[in-house]
Every structure is written in C-alpha cells, then in structure tokens.
C-alpha cells in the first residue's frame, strides 16, 4: 500500500477549478516531484494535502486511512509536514525559535534537542545563525530554516513548495543535497513542488507534470528528463 494516495482530487476557488481530477501516489522512502508552470495547480495540491484548502471532490489516503476532511493539525500529527512557498518565517523571531515553532506536539525536551541538532547538522550555517532574527538571513538560509521547521514536526512525508525559488544557484545545490540526504538518511518520503523542473526531475524517483490543474505526464524522473515534450515545455531544450 502506498504511504499517500491521492485519488481524483479536485479543488476549486469559486468557479476556477485549480486542480482537476488529480491522482498520484507516494511510496515510503520516495521523492515524488510535481512540476509545471505558474498557476498549474501545484501549490493548491499541497495545500489540499495538508488541509489548508478543502477539496471539492476526491480522496486523500495516508497509509490507507482517509484524511480528506481531517484538520491540518491532525494531518501533521499523522506525519505530514509542509514547508510552504515563500517560506513564511517569523521574521522578528530568532532562527531557533522559528525551528521550535515547528515542534508541534513533540513532548520531550530531549527529543526536541536531538531534532534541532539533526537540523543543524544538515544545515551548519543555520546553526551559526541560530540566535539571529530569521528576517535578517539570506533567502537561501531562510529556505533552510523553513525546511528545518517542517522537519521539527518529525514527519514521515515532507512536502516542499518551491524550495529553490529566488535562491542563488550555489545555495540551490546545497538545498538539493540536503533534500537527498533527508530522503536517504531518514528514509523520508518527499513531495517536491518545483518550477525548476530539471532540478526536481533529477532528484525525484517519480514525477508528475501538471498543466491547468491536470496531470499531463508522469513517469520516473529520468524518463521525464528524456521525454521530448517535457524537454520542450519545461527544460528549455
Ligand atoms: P505557483 O508556482 O505560481 O504557485 P502553482 O502551480 O502552485 O503555481 P497554484 O498556486 O496552485 O499554482 O494556482 C492554481 C490556480 O489557482 C491559479 O490559476 C491561481 O491563480 C489560482 N489560485 C491560487 N490560489 C488562489 C486563491 N487563494 N484564490 C483564488 N484563486 C487562487
């Protein structure tokens, strides 16, 4: 059974169907990429998965359990975490307090300490800046904090919305490396939403291309990288 199954998901904003009949699944330990241009419905899909927008129809199953109507906090508790587009940090709080804000329902201080140490090991420059205001960090560093905050919920399924957006290429490579390490070392499943299709397809085991709310292509990351349509539409080949 897949860890996550999305079946025929439709999400509407008024009369606009932003997501139309989308179906995909995520196996334990897999990186699954959702690619597509601006407004294709990628963020809306993630928001529906975490419970920030209600689906008009369809089903979301986590470990076979229907969570389509569950509250966001219940989904986080069940093991899903989202690092949202635009990072959404508390700019006037310290980096470490931003990370701690992600530790929902993690009871013991020792566990919180260990998770913080894990994140600092993953992103050493975040450790160096842990006492600084989050708003004073570079975009790339803020992105690391946003990913770290999602990790503090100790998820089994991590969803990342545009982690490379507006970030210098060198830092993008660092973040990509961190995504691979999180997946490999923690065997964590990851849903990666990216406009940087090349990056996402390289990192992912499986990928889906969305256009106007619909999946128009799917396959292994490597297969989509070699697909002439995908190359023309998303890779600038
Ligand atoms: P982007 O990378 O630009 O966020 P996306 O693929 O993530 O693109 P969505 O943000 O999911 O796309 O948007 C899908 C469609 O829904 C777009 O047409 C967008 O304008 C619309 N939309 C998104 N959020 C809202 C909202 N809160 N209210 C109304 N329409 C919205």
Where are the strands (E) in 36-179, listed by range?
57-62, 65-66, 80-83, 157-161
Q: Considering the entire predicted model, what is its pTM?
A: 0.94
Angstrom CA distances, 180 to 30, 116, 200, stand at 10, 19, 11
**Same domain, yes or no: 49 and 26:** yes
Which residue owns the Cα nearest ligand 1 atom 16? 18
Closest by Cα among 35, 175, 63, 155 to 104: 155
- Say if residue 228's pLDDT is above 80: yes
The 8-class DSSP code of residue 157 comes to: E
Looking at ligand 1, which atom is closest to the CA of residue 36?
Answer: 6
Residue 77 main-chain phi, psi, to 5 deg: -60, -35
Enclosing domain of residue 6: 1-79+155-237
Q: Is the CB of 84 under 6 A from ligand 1?
A: no
Provide the pLDDT for residue 96: 94
77, 153 Cβ separation under 8 angstroms: no
62, 157 Cβ separation under 8 angstroms: yes
Q: Which of 129, 154, 179 is the last residue of a domain?
A: 154
What is the distance in A from the centroid of ligand 1 to the CA of 187?
30
* pLDDT digit string, tens, across residues 175-197: 999 999 999 999 999 999 998 99
ipTM for the predicted complex comes to 0.93
**Same domain, yes or no: 69 and 101:** no
Q: Is the CB of 47 under 6 A from ligand 1?
A: no
Looking at ligand 1, which atom is closest to the CA of residue 162?
Answer: 2
Q: Is the CB of 42 under 6 A from ligand 1?
A: yes
C-alpha distance across the termini of the chain, in Å: 37
**Same domain, yes or no: 67 and 7:** yes
**Same domain, yes or no: 12 and 113:** no
Q: What is the mean pLDDT of residues 24-47?
A: 96
* pLDDT digit string, tens, across residues 59-96: 999 999 999 999 999 999 999 999 988 788 988 999 99
**Same domain, yes or no: 160 and 223:** yes
Q: CB atoms < 10 A from the CB of 139, how many?
A: 12
Q: Is the CB of 155 under 6 A from ligand 1?
A: no
Q: Is the CB of 9 under 6 A from ligand 1?
A: no
Q: Which of 154, 183, 202 is the last residue of a domain?
A: 154
Pocket mutation for ligand 1, best pick of 33, 39, 192 (most atoms within 8 Å of C-beta): 39
**Same domain, yes or no: 6 and 67:** yes
32, 208 Cβ separation under 8 angstroms: yes
Q: Is the CB of 183 under 6 A from ligand 1?
A: no
Closest by Cα among 89, 85, 80 to 195: 85
Q: How many domains does the chain have?
A: 2
Provide the pLDDT for residue 104: 73
**Same domain, yes or no: 145 and 38:** no
**Same domain, yes or no: 90 and 178:** no
- Work out the pLDDT band at 117, boundaries 50, 70, 90: very high
Q: Is the CB of 18 under 6 A from ligand 1?
A: yes
Provide the pLDDT for residue 109: 85
**Same domain, yes or no: 73 and 113:** no
**Same domain, yes or no: 110 and 53:** no
**Same domain, yes or no: 18 and 89:** no
- Work out the pLDDT band at 44, boundaries 50, 70, 90: very high
Provide the pLDDT for residue 102: 84
Q: Is 150 exposed, middle or buried (0-12, 13-18, 19+ CB in 10 A)?
A: buried
Angstrom CA distances, 100 to 8, 73, 140, stand at 36, 16, 19
- How far is residue 49's CA from residue 43's CA, in Å, rounded to a whole number? 10
Q: Is the CB of 229 under 6 A from ligand 1?
A: no
Q: Which of 154, 175, 201 is the last residue of a domain?
A: 154
């Amino acid at each position: 059974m897949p860890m996550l199954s999305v079946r025929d998901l439709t999400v509407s904003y008024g009369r606009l169907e932003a997501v139309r009949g989308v179906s995909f699944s995520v196996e334990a330990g897999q990186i699954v990429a959702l690619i597509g241009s601006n407004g294709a419905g990628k963020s809306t899909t993630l928001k529906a998965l975490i419970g920030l927008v209600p689906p008009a129809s369809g089903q979301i199953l986590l470990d076979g359990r229907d969570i389509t109507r569950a509250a966001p906090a219940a989904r986080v508790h069940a093991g899903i975490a989202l690092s949202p587009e635009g990072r959404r940090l508390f700019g006037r709080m310290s980096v470490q307090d931003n990370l701690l804000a992600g530790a929902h329902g993690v009871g013991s201080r020792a566990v919180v300490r260990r998770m913080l140490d894990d994140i600092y090991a993953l992103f050493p420059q975040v450790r160096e800046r842990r006492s600084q205001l989050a708003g004073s960090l570079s975009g790339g560093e803020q992105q690391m904090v946003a990913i770290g905050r999602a990790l503090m919920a100790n998820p089994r399924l991590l969803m990342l919305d545009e982690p490379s957006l507006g970030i210098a290429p060198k830092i993008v490579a660092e973040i990509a490396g961190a995504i691979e390490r999180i997946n490999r070392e923690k065997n964590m499943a990851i849903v990666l939403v990216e406009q940087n299709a090349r990056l996402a397809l390289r990192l992912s085991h499986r990928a889906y291309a969305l256009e106007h709310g619909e999946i128009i292509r799917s396959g292994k990351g490597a297969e989509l990288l070699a697909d002439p349509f995908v190359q023309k539409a998303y890779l600038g080949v």
